[in-house]
Chains A and B, each alone.
Chain A
């Protein structure tokens, strides 16, 4: 359940092992040679991503950081199958991300909570699950009931509220619960706390870690906060802009579970400092 068994290397799932992927399981992510060119064939094609190669282990927490314009969000969209790469491919647990999206097994959380303003929090959380069931997808038998999810994300008692009655942080909790309700193979998060104030943001980071410890989903997390990246991640991927590519990957060896005290340790400060320096280099 905790840091000890997580520290062992987990073998990548082979391409043939799709069937064995249990409904409750999370999955590894393999990003192979992904290149994205905007306006390809046009007068001025812009290469947003070039030859991105990244393997994520099952249950691993990986953050993408880098200056704006380095293609972090584009990469996340490619993994989420919201955008087709010009070349290269993404597989999740051996399956293409397109297939997983159709099966409703991709959990997405964006910067905006994007809750339906006319649905109660409870129905918002159940929405995607019912959509998947409605278009013939299979809803995982082991997926957590909505009531329990409300509890997990700390929204017990708020199920009947409408989104506009919640604070920004609570709205993001609901968005996280909505993603978890799908029993997703992976969680893809695009600056989920960027719109929140500093204090709420901090609390949400620890909440996310607690939930992650509980569900142990593979998480790809885009952020522009170095501290957040170091605190949360197993690995931090630093990207460089124009064209977007992976500059360096940092292993964050800090012991889990991580607490507010983790940030006071020397190891933490060193890593943040190192990342800061590297980020500065990348930008100049």
Chain B
């Protein structure tokens, strides 16, 4: 009798934590999704239950319905935002890499420019957006310039950090065969700096979208930023929400795209002991 009891007990004890672990694993994996779904459901329910007016807070279902109905409009403004964001971003990347390459080649240029860049890095560049609009006028060009100006700095700062931090030992290896400046740049500094450069590029994606939105808030007749603004002016809050949702999707995709490109092009800094056993 006692023998049966003692074998039964541990079995039951073993089963209980097993179920606990599986629920834990489920929540651990899908927790953010579940919470998001719950919050959206609560939003829908609360707005309907308390009869919140639509111009204050539309329900999620209204937003989705509006997105579906006004899809051509959102698509048109979305394209405008994406175009200026990417154009400005590409400009920023091009100039940032060019300026960094010049600075690392001519140290005098670096000593003149770098302190200015570092100082400007901590200035909220979004504040000069109205001035750019005054100088360039409303339209695509001013948007491009705002995006470029805001995305430029994190790329330059990160790229220079990577260029300058090249390991002394690695440089000695290149020096030991009298490698040329060109070889040192393309085969040592540039590949070495890749993880740093991509860190800058990732930060810049978020800032580029931000720059485009602000430029559109200030003076534009198209773009998702304009759509958000016009929606709120016309108390068409659902349209503003739809535009914000589209912006969120654009920003996330842009960031994800850069991470994908990074995984193809760059190497990751790793502790040397990390994967030794795997090899």
Interface of A toward B, CB cutoff 8 Å: 80, 82, 101-102, 104, 106, 108, 110, 112, 114, 116-118, 127-128, 131-132, 134-135, 137, 158, 161-168, 171, 178, 182
State the CA gap A147–B174 with chains docked (Å): 22
Q: How far is the CA of A104 from the CA of B179 in the complex (A)?
A: 9
Cα separation A182 to B278 with both chains bound (whole Å):
31
Contact A102:B178 (CB < 8 A) given known A118-B194, A128-B173: yes
B183 pairs with A131, CB closer than 8 A: yes
CA distance A116 to B180 in the complex (A): 17
**CB-defined contacts of A178 to chain B, threshold 8 Å:** 173
Residues of the B chain whose Cβ atoms lie less than 8 Å from the Cβ of A166 = 276, 279
The 9 sampled A-B contact pairs (Cβ below 8 Å) are A101-B178, A102-B178, A104-B178, A108-B176, A117-B267, A135-B178, A164-B272, A167-B276, A168-B272
Given that A102-B178, A108-B176, A131-B177 are known contacts, is A165 also in contact with B183, CB under 8 Å in the complex? Answer: no
Residue B187 is within 8 A (CB to CB) of chain A in the complex: yes
Q: Smallest CB-CB separation from A171: which chain B residue?
A: B272
Q: Which residues of B contact A168 (CB under 8 A)?
A: 272
**Contact in complex: B279, A161 (CB < 8 Å):** yes
Say which one of B7-15, B46-54, B164-172 lies at the interface with A: B164-172
CB distance from A105 to the nearest CB of B (A): 9
Contact B176 A82, beta carbon cutoff 8 Å = yes
Whether B274 contacts A164 by the Cβ 8 Å rule is yes
Q: Which of A101, A112, A116 contacts B176 (CB 8 A)?
A: A101
Q: Which of A82, A116, A131 contacts B172 (CB 8 A)?
A: A82
- Most interface-central of B172, B173, B192, B275 (chain A CB within 10 A): B173
Interface of B with A (CB < 8 Å)? Answer: 167, 169-170, 172-180, 183, 187-188, 191-192, 194, 266-267, 269-272, 274-276, 278-279
A280 CB to closest chain B CB (Å) equals 32
User: Does A104 contact B191, Cβ atoms closer than 8 Å?
Assistant: no
A106 and B272 within 8 A (CB): no
Return the chain A residue nearest B269 by Cβ: A117
Given contacts A106-B176, A132-B177, A135-B179, contact A165 B170 (CB under 8 A): no
Q: Are B269 and A114 in contact (CB under 8 A)?
A: no
CB <8 Å contact, B173 and A108:
yes
Q: A116-B191, A164-B275, A166-B279 are contacts. A131–B179 as well, Cβ < 8 Å?
A: yes
Residues in A neighbouring B276, C-beta threshold 8 A: 164-167
Residue with the greatest number of chain A CB neighbours at <10 A, chosen from B177, B179, B187, B271: B177
Q: Which residues of A contact B177 (CB under 8 A)?
A: 101, 104, 106, 128, 131-132, 137, 182
User: With A114-B169, A117-B267 known to touch, is A165 a contact of B278 (CB < 8 Å)?
Assistant: yes
A197 to chain B minimum Cβ distance, whole angstroms, is: 13
- Please, which residues of chain A bring their CB within 8 A of the CB of B270? 117, 164
Question: Given A82-B175, A116-B191, A171-B272, list of 4 further CB < 8 A pairs?
Answer: A104-B178, A118-B192, A165-B275, A165-B276
Distance, CA A170 to CA B9, complexed state (A): 53
A268 to B179, CA, bound (A): 42
Give min CB distance, A33 to chain B, whole Å. Answer: 24
- Report the nearest B residue to A136, measured CB to CB: B180
A-side contacts of B275, CB under 8 Å: 164-165
Given A131-B179, A132-B177, A165-B279: A118 and B274 interface contact (C-beta under 8 Å): no
Q: Which residue of A lies closest to B184 (CB)?
A: A131
Q: State in angstroms the CA–CA spacing of A116 and B266 once bound together.
A: 13
Kindly state the separation between the CA atoms of A167 and B172 in the bound complex, as whole angstroms: 22
| CB of A55, distance to nearest CB on chain B (Å) | 23
